Structure 1
Amino acid sequence: MRGGFRYNPYRRNRWRQLAARTVRPLLLLLLGFTITHFFVLRTYTVPDNALSPQLQRGDVVLVSLVNQEVVSDQIILLFPPYTEPHRISSRLRVLLQRPAASLFGRTPYPAYRHLPVLRRVAAVAGQHVASRDFPDDGHAEPPSGFPLAPDWAGFTVPDDSVAVSSGGGYLDSRHYGPVDLERVRGTVRWRIWPPDRIERLTPGIAP
């Protein structure tokens, strides 16, 4: 038909080929990013000033998720003993209870119960820690609903555990004791933001 639409199967095949060439690399890129983020290396935005002045709120750090040999003075990303990092139900509960709290006036599930934190290693297995090993800035006031009250005393770190410290009165091993190495998510290697403070973070540099 002159001047009308004429079906062209080759044009359709070209679109399919173009889509395949575009979508496949994007899927592979997404898969690679996901594997890297969860198993190799991830970014983490510092949420507070627990390790100030070395790390400040809003800084972005690179966390290595492999080769997690923890040493004293190292900054680590960990799930404190009061968190539920391996339970998907706790994360869903947070997401669902926030709108429920707004609509029905209920108390939402505390978000801190499933969030990892940055802390500095004060001692490793076999070492003894005392008050002198922690910043002299008092104790933190536990968040509402926090299950462990501050009851500080020195202790010897048991096997497969570490003691962690913080500044500014934030919660650390003074409040919840030693942390099992299974709760260590990774070790902090670099600060990559802001640009004027890019720095490799190595053990031995106190905050």
Structure 2
Amino acid sequence: MKLLVELILQKVLQYLKDRANLAVVTTHYADLSSMKETDTRFDNATMEFSLETLQPTYRILWGCTGDSNALSIAGSIGFDRNIIDRAQKWVEKFQSEQQQERRGMLYRSLQEERNRLKAQVEKAASIHAEIMSVHNEIQGEAEDLDQREMELMAKETQQVQHELEHAKSQMETVIQKFEKRLRISGINSILLLENLNLQLPPL
């Protein structure tokens, strides 16, 4: 039952770490302090307790986990020594069992972390594959645009060249017609002068 409660509490803390900027949690479950070993977002702290005065000093000790001082306090206020000794033996036995449970919890926690990291790696690989697919698609479209632009420029160049050749041909035709008319006009002028010479009386 205790193990189940601790597992539930671990899930609660893991839920809080992703949704709260800062959370202060107090607990008597010492095994929860092991969460710091697998996630640096957790930290441990304890309130210092003086065994001499049996009073808290109100100093916070970071990175430490608190110890139970119940048996020391019980002895100082006159509890039966036999009861305290039996309780101490039970605590030592319980701590041994607790260590085994803690190792099991740590192993499960590491397995969960491994699975989580594996899922993140797979997700990152999937996103990378999608990005590369989009990149290749865009690159292919860009190359296709370049090819179409080159083909269009070549077509336009060919069309302009054809139009220039056609215009040149028309100009040559016009020039030939003009030169022909000039020749015809020249011949007519000569004939006209000859006729005039024939018609003029001799001096």
Same fold (TM over 0.5): no
Task: Flag the structure with larger Rg.
Answer: 2
Task: Name the structure with the higher strand share.
Answer: 1
Q: Aligning the two structures, in what range does the TM-score lie when normalised by the shorter sequence? A: under 0.3
Higher RCO (CA < 8 A, seq sep 6+): 1
